[in-house]
Structure 1
């Protein structure tokens, strides 16, 4: 598993030498526990040739303002999250007209695309890959959809979607299980969207969120099992009944 020191360094626009200087200054008051480092030491860390000490991992996490698990490479990177969400919007089945139903929380690409359309400002035109005329917000979105301008969508996701900057959340994602992490994305993004439009949202409650995720995991387990479809349906109905009953009595 590769750590994310290089990714975070580049996000800050720093060279190895510049980061070494900044980090040494950042740890100056804790020199008894954290030794000064050279750019060559940083390079070895980035390549995984050697590893920082536990204290240094913590200081690096403090410097970059990320949790240690994210820094060490757990979960999904910010760029991976941005790429996945942009691709969801541009999937053929999700390339809705800008006035699609943003309440469709079960279709992440459609949900996110419609909301981003509402968020666009005229200044976001600068993110279009190719453009030579002045456009309004509707025209900007329509052009990005028609030209499948994925770089445009990556830029506005980075600008407007809070979850791609939530390193704690990203470090918890299991990138090997698409069903689960896409559900988690829908949950968090739908919460931000409902807040934006002034709707109440139950998904911000951790207990409720965990129960819903539990349902998803159980449903996935049934769908992955090697049994007849009729038996799968019976099992799914039973899961929903049990979990709904527990949620209502919680």
Structure 2
């Protein structure tokens, strides 16, 4: 009799477990609205609770993306700039101090500048930046000189697209404390102001914290006068995200 009661107790416990296990069910509904999948989970106990989760599906792009043929003619390209003339022309800057036109078929075109004798192309140094004035008549370059400092210079651009090396104008020289993290990018805004993006000064773990000192040139965004003429004072410096102030701008 005790054995029968024990078996009945086990069966009763199993029945309770079965009821609990069957008390929850999940139903997945896919809506007819494109881009949305709706999942509804209904849990049945003493009351019914419905939870709805919507997931947005990313649509396919409206254009067909194709992979072009990689350009392999360059050794160490660091920047590309477009000269906005009647027929825009792209130029590739190499870290060794040379600049080439980018041919329409994507291959290396004519060499337009060679200042390899003026720069150190090692580590994170060399010819690092290229930009043009809005009318395309002048090119700006950012390179590391033989003393390891940043030089911003200008070159007149000839009608055939080559640079007049004899026209080099020294806009400013900025001392670099270390040979790495020298920045390099330069750009011209719609009003002709030239921006110089400086690195943080370099060395392991950024020991000098130049970016926290707005009186220091490393670690800042430097802006010089439109036209790129040599300044009679140091370039205006401001640390992001401070407001922009441009030296000599009318």
Q: Which category of TM-score, normalised to the shorter sequence, fits these structures?
A: under 0.3
For the pair shown, the structure with the greater C-alpha radius of gyration is 2
Please report the TM-score for the alignment, with normalisation by the length of structure 1. Answer: 0.25
Higher relative contact order (CA 8 A, sep 6+): 1
Q: Whose strand proportion is higher, 1 or 2? A: 2
